[in-house]
Amino acid sequence: MATDTQYADRIINLSIHNGLVRIDLGTVDTYLDGEERKQRAEVTQRVVMPVDGFVRSFAMQQRMLDQLNERAKSAQGAADAEGAQTGASSDEKAPAGA
């Protein structure tokens, strides 16, 4: 069975009715209104699922956010360590009295 892949910039709206969660997904377009840049969100598709399925999917999203936060902390730690090493080697190479 083929999987149908859809793209969305963001969740536009969430609602619940009769035990079903409706998730409106959409895209965002940027346009000029005179001199001002504005954005317009448009619903392009809807996902409907039972509440228990939504709760489980929310838990999956939370785990993904936790992983992304860990990656960001690791990347920041590596950048800080590299900056400290670069600063130390620069100090070593600087001529006295500079």
Cβ neighbours, 10 Å, residue 49 = 14
Judged by phi (left if over 0) then psi (alpha if -120 to 50, else beta), residue 18 lies in left
CB 54 within 8 A of CB 24: no
Per-residue pLDDT of the chain (98 residues; tens, 9 = 90+): 788 899 999 999 999 999 999 999 999 999 999 999 999 999 999 999 999 999 999 899 999 999 999 999 998 888 888 877 776 555 555 555 55
Q: What pTM does this model have?
A: 0.63
φ and ψ of 93, to 5 deg: -85, -15
Q: Which residue has tokens 């346009």?
A: 31
